[in-house]
A and B are shown apart, each in its own frame.
Chain A
Amino acid sequence: MVEPLLLWRRLIGAQIRSQLQYRLSMTLDFVGSGLISFVDFLAVLVIFHNVPRLDTWGVREVAFLYALSSISFALTDMLIGHLDLFPQLIRTGNFDVLLVRPRSTLLQVFGSDFAVRRLAKAVQGAAVLVYALSALDLHWTVWRAVVLLASVPVGCVIFGSVWVVGACIAFWTTDGGEFTNAFTYGGNFMAQYPIDIYSAWLRRFLAYVVPLAFVCYFPALYVLGKPDPLGLPRFLELSSPAVAAVAALVAGLVWRFAVRHYRSAGG
């Protein structure tokens, strides 16, 4: 278990050092990335300029969802990379190189695409979280604090699992890399809003098939002490870690299945 982590740290470390070589570019990139993700929060503010509540949700509560989703998304993006470049590996046939190395292919893909600028999204997410928490006037208990702290790593595992499954599509459609965007950016966008505003079919799909509702919505209900507008069983609010474990297991199995069926595109 330790050895793969060391390997991952090495892969990432090299990329951090190389990106810090160009300080000015890095800074501009960092500021730009922070601002471009902040546009999504502006959208939330624009909505609440027009209405005081979105069904039962106020601006502070949606800000809380937004912050949780942004932070989990950004950290996942930092830790495993965007998997954006992954379809390119398949298309060019460079995935073959990963296969001959005596290390996990998934780990090599995770370590291959690291960008310091992605931290910027987490920073703006954290800023929104501070705003939301200070404005919300929450009644804190130990368990609520625990759930809040745990929801970030748990959210990362769920996001990561969904992305891996999404990226596997590239094994079959070599130039269909953009499918992953529906899972990555789409998942993030979806999780920023309370799922009860979506129509029933979409909501069920998101809650039970692609378990993105467990990234923010259910943990948020618990932390905010908010009764579920959908009236779903209370235990769902605490089941995110279990869902994350299942999601990771499924993602691992799908990845192995896909790799076994990989037919190199390169000559």
Chain B
Amino acid sequence: MRLDWEIAKRGWRRYAAYPWATAAGAFTNTIFGFLQAYILLAVYRHRSDVGGFDARDAVTYVWLAQAMIMTVYIFSWQELALRIRDGSIAVDLARPLDPQRYWLAFDLGRAPYHFLFRGLLPFVVGAIVFDLRYPSPLDALAFVVSLTFAVVVSFGVRFLYNSAAFWLLDFRGVMTLTITVVLFLSGMVMPVRFFPGWLRDAAYALPFSAILQTPVDVWLGKRDGLALLGFLALQAGWAVVLLALGRFVLACGTRKLVVQGG
């Protein structure tokens, strides 16, 4: 446990070392937030409710999504794949901590850094300019839990497409396809609630919505009581399933691993 903590601290520090990169990213997220907020507000000039979201919910969704985009690391993460490709994975496998646990601890150290320094600024700007919805203390607590699960689910997905590098010399195709699916079905480009009925049900049933739409729904208080617990349990369930799958794939990959250069 102590080791996990130390690794998590390294995950935080890695990103804390580049403050300008953080500022630049927060600036970009803010620009996107404004654009998307005005686009969605244009939708609400024609109707007052879309799939259970009113205009205020939708604008809150926009700024939460921009705040979470780096926290749940939706875009490409390929550190593991690169280590598999160049053979460094052999060294990692010899360590007392297996690669999955190592990178999970690293990621859980990285996520709070990104949430505080990449996420907070765009959200505050959004909160100043727009009228946002804020959670009750209980929902805020549930949001923190849900966001943590979201990071683990996202990590589970990223770990899987990185593991493709055990079999494919060029994993980029698999990675791009997965990110495409995640971007759309997580609710990152449009809230899942805006989807047509069948697609919406499918998206809620799949693990990808647990990466973004679930924490947003929790923040907005769309579920309460037992429904909220069930919602969080489903998210936790996906996290466990994906981690188990990752473990299995890692075991298969290790067995087949041939490190170039002996």
Interface residues of A (CB under 8 A from B): 22, 24-25, 27-29, 31-33, 35-36, 38-40, 42-43, 46-47, 49-55, 169, 173-179, 181-182, 185-186, 189-190, 193, 197-199, 202
Contacts and interface: CB of A to CB of B under 8 A. Distances in A.
Taking chain A's interface residues, is the majority helix, strand, or loop, or is none over half, making it mixed?
Answer: helix
Nearest to B173: A28
Interface stretch (B23-31, B206-214, B218-226): B23-31
Instruction: Give the interface centre of A22, A24, A28 by most chain B CB atoms within 10 Å.
Output: A28
Nearest to B17: A175
Contacts, number: 121
24 contacts: A22-B170, A28-B170, A29-B176, A31-B177, A35-B176, A39-B184, A40-B189, A47-B43, A47-B194, A49-B195, A50-B50, A50-B194, A173-B24, A174-B20, A175-B18, A175-B21, A178-B27, A181-B25, A186-B28, A186-B31, A189-B32, A197-B39, A197-B41, A202-B34
Contacts of A174: 20
B179 A31 contact: no
Nearest to A30: B173
Interface of B is mostly: helix
Interface in B1-51: 18, 20-21, 23-25, 27-28, 31-32, 34-35, 38-39, 41-43, 45-47, 50
Interface of B: 18, 20-21, 23-25, 27-28, 31-32, 34-35, 38-39, 41-43, 45-47, 50, 169-170, 172-177, 179-180, 183-184, 189-190, 194-196
Contacts of B180: 32, 35-36, 38-39
Contacts of A181: 24-25, 28
Nearest to B38: A198
Contacts of A177: 21, 24
B109 to A, nearest CB: 20
A178 B28 contact: yes
Given A25-B172, A43-B190, A197-B42, 11 more contacts: A28-B176, A32-B180, A36-B176, A40-B189, A42-B190, A49-B195, A173-B24, A175-B18, A185-B28, A189-B32, A190-B35
